[in-house]
A and B are shown apart, each in its own frame.
Chain A
Amino acid sequence: MPIDWIWGLIGGLLIGTGGAVYLLGNGRIMGASGIIGGLVDGSGHDTKWERLVFLAGVFLLPIVLMPFYREVDPHITSNWWVLIAAGLLVGVGTRIANGCTSGHGVCGMSRLSLRGFAATIVYILAGGVGVVVFRHLLGVI
């Protein structure tokens, strides 16, 4: 639906503006996996309040916007084994690669970072192959 693209573009502009504020305001690269991961493994201990407050904003704004929407369903699979496997892969993978969709994708590619492009191409290809294998060949998702 064309309306989805427009909302995608508007949402993207908001995400990028958030990244711009975090860079020029706080001097940080807005990468969700790095912000969360630094809290988990202790590497971001010195900046923990900045990280927690950022995540509070990510968590709270959808709650504020929710009343303006009739129905919001993230369609999370009911297969907990899939969720556990996926969560572990996302957690380990983003920390080994040092970035995810926001850090390597939005922030990396917009500064023409070679690593950002390489990571983004690899995770999109891996995700595409994953969906083909697990949905069309195995029928798990």
Chain B
Amino acid sequence: MLRLSLAFLAGGLFGAGLFVSGMTDTTKVQGWLDVFGNWDPTLAFVMGGAMIPMALAWLARRRRTTALTGTPLPPPPSTRIDGKLILGSVMFGIGWGLAGLCPGPSIAALSYGGAGLYVFVAAMLTGMALAPLLRSRLDRPVPAE
């Protein structure tokens, strides 16, 4: 129960933060990406603000091995920069720029985004369902000629 309560609290803070920061407004996201248009720096403040408590949490993580609910804390991050990370991020970035939406805000705005947002989320879920197929192809070693 504590685990679910904390998950709801975390999700609620995330959703509230996306809402009050304006990050569910696609024009603010596209405004940040559009350096040749009417550039909007808000996203940098959101990202910077979010990294402050998160960095403190990572510092606190050093003194513990398990979370409050007893789950082992995540291991140190991998440093491997591979083709999947780059290709996936290129695809994500183009989609993010096209619609001004990324996964978190698409859920936060679902109650007031209209039919278009349902279309986006349905396509995103389809993409997530298809990703394992592409991932396994990318993992397969290239046969030698």
Contacts and interface: CB of A to CB of B under 8 A. Distances in A.
Main secondary structure on A side of the interface with B: helix
Contacts, number: 490
Given A86-B123, A100-B92, A131-B34, A28 B79 contact: no
Given A57-B15, A95-B128, A141-B98, 10 more contacts: A11-B19, A14-B21, A22-B10, A32-B107, A33-B102, A78-B116, A97-B88, A115-B80, A123-B96, A132-B36
Interface residues of B, number: 117
A89 B90 CA distance: 9
A109 to B, nearest CB: 6
A86 B28 CA distance: 17
Given A88-B126, A91-B128, A131-B97, A57 B8 contact: yes
| Most chain A CB within a 10 A radius of its CB, from B36, B66, B89, B90 | B89
A58 B24 CA distance: 12
For chain A, which range describes its interface: under 10, 10 to 19, 20 to 34, or 35 or more residues?
35 or more
Main secondary structure on B side of the interface with A: helix
Interface of B: 2-4, 6-28, 30, 33-37, 40-58, 60-61, 64, 66-69, 71-74, 77-81, 84-114, 116-117, 119-132, 134-135, 138
Interface of A: 4-30, 32-33, 36-37, 40-41, 49-51, 53-66, 72-78, 80, 82-98, 100-102, 104-111, 113-116, 118-120, 122-132, 134-136, 141
A132 B112 contact: no
Contacts of B8: 53-54, 56-57
Given A36-B128, A92-B91, A93-B90, A18 B10 contact: yes
29 contacts: A4-B22, A11-B17, A11-B46, A15-B14, A16-B53, A21-B13, A23-B57, A32-B14, A59-B107, A59-B108, A61-B19, A62-B19, A75-B27, A76-B101, A83-B120, A92-B91, A93-B91, A96-B135, A100-B102, A106-B50, A110-B57, A118-B89, A120-B89, A122-B86, A125-B93, A126-B96, A127-B94, A132-B35, A136-B36
